[in-house]
Amino acid sequence: MRVIGVGFGRTGTASLKVALERLGYGPCYHMLAVLEKPSRARGWLAAAKAADAADGAVDPPWQEIFDGFDSTLDWPGVAFWRELVEAYPDARVILTVRDPYRWYRSMDATILRALRQARHPVIGPLMRLGGWLRPDMGAFFEMTQRLVVQRSFHGDPGGGAERFARLFDEHTAEVIATVPADRLLVFEVADGWKPLCDFLGTTPPDEPFPHINDQQEFARTSGAQRRKALMPVLATAAAGAVAGTATVLLRRRLRR
């Protein structure tokens, strides 16, 4: 692991992912990797169990989780930023930042909305049933609740702009106070290649810095995964409806 991203999601991490891979620091682990392969959530649940163990007897399975990856950004990794910074002492550390209130608006339209849906009295049970029918998706749903809601947001995906702006500023201050200055880059993706390449000691590419629309990408990938989770629920319901209809028709015929 050569680069560890310690900034929350919705701070340009999808764009930075592409930039790091362009500079040779890839593949880069990102929440998109778990959305594309939900079975990866199991490793993160094991990491949470190990990290939360009181005796510290079991190390989180970082080598297994990051096998084949050269860098990490976004959740779920940022939920363990302290552990990762300690586990990989030679890795460079990047804290992606943006205006806290703009960050909240982006979060509220995407990640927080999805997290709140998991607690909806109708949608929540359907998602849990879908997770039961598709265990990998169930692990993914559990991972987001345990790592994003519990570890990053102290158990509450609500509270409004003021609360989340405060959480964002507290996280930024904590990272800056913890990571040595010569190892840390506080980075806004709008600043482009130069500060990033100066920090990594690489030459800026002769091309524009990548700009990925995080909100559109999130909607595409998370929507696809929700459909996968709900599909077996709908299929089971449809099968039940067909069986029920067939039973009623058969009973009517026998009565005749």
Q: Per-residue confidence at 116, pLDDT binned at 50, 70, 90?
A: confident
DSSP 61-102: -HHHHTTT-SEE-STTGGGGHHHHHHH-TTSEEEEE---HHH
In CATH terms, is domain 3-255 a member of 3.30.70.1230? no
Question: Distance (Å, rounded) from C-alpha 246 to C-alpha 157?
Answer: 44
pTM as predicted: 0.81
Q: Cβ distance 149 to 156 under 8 Å?
A: yes
| Closest by Cα among 90, 82, 75, 38 to 60 | 82
pLDDT at 126 over 90: no
Two structure tokens written together for 228: 């996968």
SS3 134: coil
Q: Are strands 184-187 and 92-96 parallel, antiparallel or unpaired?
A: parallel
Higher model confidence: residue 191 or residue 131?
A: 191
SS3 4: strand
- What pLDDT score does 217 carry? 57
pLDDT at 140 over 60: yes
Residue located via tokens 């409004």: 160
- What pLDDT score does 122 carry? 62
pLDDT at 36 over 60: yes
Write out pLDDT tens, residues 58-72: 789 999 999 999 999
Q: Rounded mean pLDDT of 28-52? A: 92
Q: Rounded mean pLDDT of 112-139? A: 70
For residue 27, say if its preceding peptide bond is cis, omega within 30 degrees of 0: yes
193-200 helix and 13-22 helix, angle to the nearest 10 degrees: 50
Two structure tokens written together for 231: 């599909």
Name the residue ranges covered by the structural domains of the chain. Answer: 3-255
| Closest by Cα among 69, 61, 62, 64 to 20 | 69
Residue 125 vs residues 16, 46, 188: alpha-carbon distances, Å: 35, 24, 39
Write out pLDDT tens, residues 159-195: 899 999 999 999 999 999 999 999 999 999 999 999 9
